[in-house]
């Protein structure tokens, strides 16, 4: 079971904005593409306790989802760069 662990504070919003900006730049996404950043916690066995999901919406297509197994505040530009280079796989 997943539940959102993302903060609604100004700091949480700033962190999400930074991750979106990195994703837009490093994944070469245009302004027409919608990016959603969510921090999720999971209590099921084998699931990382907290992960950051970046969902990329291109029109009516199903979103491409990328998962980084750390809290959003701990996500780095290098983590997002790994998505762009294929070192991390979309889900």
Q: Torsion angle of alpha carbons 49, 21, 82, 33, nearest 10°?
A: 100
Nearest to 24 by CA among 69, 60, 57, 70: 57
Encode pLDDT of 8-54 as tens digits. Answer: 456 789 999 999 999 999 999 999 999 999 999 988 888 789 999 99
pTM of the model: 0.80
The DSSP secondary-structure symbol of 86 reads T
Cα–Cα distance between 55 and 73 in angstroms, integer? Answer: 17
Tell me which of 3.30.160, 3.40.50, 2.60.40, 3.30.370 is the CATH number of domain 2-85.
Answer: 3.30.160
Q: How far apart are CA 8 and CA 5, in angstroms?
A: 9
Higher pLDDT: 90 or 47? It is 47
Return the domain boundaries, the chain: 2-85
Rounded to whole angstroms, how far apart are CA atoms 62 and 75?
24
Report pLDDT for 10.
Answer: 67
- The confidence band for 90, taking pLDDT boundaries of 50, 70 and 90, is low
Tokens 């209590």 found at: 43
């Amino acid at each position: 079971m997943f539940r959102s662990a993302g903060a609604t504070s100004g700091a949480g919003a700033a962190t999400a904005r930074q991750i979106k900006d990195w994703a837009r730049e490093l994944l070469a996404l245009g302004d027409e593409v919608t990016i959603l950043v969510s921090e999720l916690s999971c209590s099921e066995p084998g699931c990382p306790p907290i992960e950051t999901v970046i969902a990329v919406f291109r029109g009516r297509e199903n979103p491409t989802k990328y998962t980084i197994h750390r809290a959003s505040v701990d996500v780095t530009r290098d983590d997002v760069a790994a998505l762009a280079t294929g070192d991390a796989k979309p889900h």
